[in-house]
Amino acid sequence: MTIRKMLLASVAVACAAMPVSVFADTADKKIALSNNYAGNSWRQAMLTSWEKVTGEAVKTGVVAAADAFTTAENQATEQAAQIQNMILQGYDAIVINAASPTALNGAVKEACDAGVTVVSFDGIVTEPCAWRIAVDFKEMGRSQVEYLAGKLPDGGNLLEIRGLAGVFVDDEISAGIHAGVEEYPKFKIAGSVHGDWAQDVAQKAVAGILPSLPAIVGVVTQGGDGYGAAQAIAATDRDMPIIVMGNREDELKWWKEQKDANSYETMSVSIAPGVSTLAFWVAQQILDGKDVSKDLVVPFLRIDQDNLEENLANTQAGGVANVEYSQEDAIQVIEAAN
């Protein structure tokens, strides 16, 4: 089954999708993307998906503009100022991947009070006037430990690799991992490092902590760090543990090589970076007058041993396993939540 079918099949559609609306109602609307970080392959794929899908939407007259902006320092204060500038520039909707779930709420409320639609995704905001699109990140973390419990019934020591400190996604996935360890108490988190969702950062962090750790049976991750962890461990005389991957092409390629060489088994899980395109279409639908639930949940994308080859073949070199959403897909997600 393709990635698109895997994701859309898991969205329970409560009723038949509505017909595509006439574009004239949003043809003069401007939508902006406020992104807090672009320093890893997931964020690059997210921005590429945004540019591809929104570029076509502008070209065909669905909206007048869909500009993307990324802050330089991944600071909430900088992103808040960016949002305030977008208000002044007359954008009708702002789509946000937020540096903080709470620190941007003041700027988000300013946007709402100015009549601007705000849709947050991935890194969501808690301001009630905004819309939120996310996966169940806690379950994404918990499911990793559940998988390891099935493969390693005797448990053992785990290394946790976290993402960007202070970001909602990092906190939620980590909370899920720790909940999984409580559920399966034969496992213990023996050490934790921040890999910033980047392979090079993760490799250095893992290499730095390994000398102080006991034997490790598994590595629980957040995405963009599995290959770096594997390289750090391979440089030692340790046995290779089960490293949960994050759908990056280099991770999937390494997994395939190890699977072919020695029947290595693991799983891979992440949110599809194309969720940015879902957020765009949700904003467009709100501007078009549609009734949309404030909270929308999309499934995370999981790759297992039996569909590794298919997903690797469909993943761009240097990229991330992905799905990009159409307007019809967005309507299905909206209808399922209503």
pLDDT per residue over 194-205, tens digit each?
A: 999 999 999 999
How would residue 13 be classed by pLDDT, with cut points 50, 70 and 90? very low
The pLDDT assigned to 7 comes to: 59
Separation CA 304–CA 300 (nearest Å): 13
How would residue 73 be classed by pLDDT, with cut points 50, 70 and 90? confident
Contact 317, 250 (CB under 8 A): no
16 has pLDDT over 70: no
SS (H, E, C) 191-210: EEEECCCCHHHHHHHHHHHH
Full DSSP string of 158-224:
EEEEE-STT-HHHHHHHHHHHHHHHHSTTEEEEEEEE-TT-HHHHHHHHHHHGGG----SEEE--SS
AA letter at 79: Q
Partnered with residue 158 across adjacent β-strands are: 189, 218
Assess whether 141 and 232 both reside in one domain. Answer: yes
Tokens of 143: 């499911």
CATH number of the domain enclosing 144: 3.40.50.2300
Least trusted range by pLDDT, from 10-14, 84-88, 139-143, 309-313: 10-14
What percentage of the chain carries pLDDT values higher than 70?
93
Of 248, 270, 292, the one marking the end of a domain is 270
Section 174-185 average pLDDT: 98
The pLDDT assigned to 9 comes to: 53
> How many residues are recorded in the chain?
338
Assess whether 76 and 104 both reside in one domain. Answer: yes
66 has pLDDT over 70: yes
User: Is residue 168 situated within a structural domain?
Assistant: yes
Assess whether 259 and 282 both reside in one domain. Answer: no
Q: Please give the residue that has the higher pLDDT: either 119 or 23.
A: 119
12 has pLDDT over 50: no
Assess whether 38 and 70 both reside in one domain. Answer: yes
251 has pLDDT over 60: yes
Query: Furthest-apart CA pair in the chain: how many Å?
Result: 64
Partnered with residue 194 across adjacent β-strands are: 162
Q: Please give the residue that has the higher pLDDT: either 310 or 167.
A: 310
User: Is residue 4 situated within a structural domain?
Assistant: no
Contact 178, 220 (CB under 8 A): no
User: Is residue 312 situated within a structural domain?
Assistant: no
The pLDDT assigned to 4 comes to: 55
User: Is residue 219 situated within a structural domain?
Assistant: yes
Contact 37, 70 (CB under 8 A): yes
256 has pLDDT over 70: yes
Assess whether 39 and 103 both reside in one domain. Answer: yes
Assess whether 28 and 75 both reside in one domain. Answer: yes
Q: Which secondary structure element, helix H or strand E, spans residue 85, and what is its range? A: helix 76-88
What percentage of the chain carries pLDDT values higher than 90?
86
Task: Say which residue the tokens 């807090």 belong to.
Answer: 36
How would residue 5 be classed by pLDDT, with cut points 50, 70 and 90? low
Task: Say which residue the tokens 């995370």 belong to.
Answer: 300
pLDDT digits (tens, 9 = 90+) for 266-324: 999 999 999 999 999 999 999 999 999 999 999 899 999 999 999 999 999 999 999 99
Separation CA 100–CA 117 (nearest Å): 19
Assess whether 186 and 253 both reside in one domain. Answer: yes
Assess whether 109 and 166 both reside in one domain. Answer: no
* Dihedral class, residue 326 (left if φ above 0, else alpha if ψ from -120 to 50, else beta): beta
14 has pLDDT over 60: no
Section 162-169 average pLDDT: 90
pLDDT digits (tens, 9 = 90+) for 111-142: 999 999 999 999 999 999 999 998 899 999 99
SS (H, E, C) 245-258: ECCEHHHHHHHHHH
The helix/strand/coil state of 64 is: coil
Q: Domain residues for 104? A: 19-122+272-301+322-337
Assess whether 180 and 246 both reside in one domain. Answer: yes
Q: Please give the residue that has the higher pLDDT: either 321 or 1.
A: 321
The pLDDT assigned to 3 comes to: 55
Assess whether 86 and 183 both reside in one domain. Answer: no
Section 232-246 average pLDDT: 98
Assess whether 290 and 244 both reside in one domain. Answer: no
The pLDDT assigned to 21 comes to: 41
Q: What is the mean pLDDT of the chain?
A: 92
Assess whether 257 and 174 both reside in one domain. Answer: yes
Give the dihedral sign, CA 207/213/218/224.
negative
Contact 100, 166 (CB under 8 A): yes
The pLDDT assigned to 39 comes to: 86
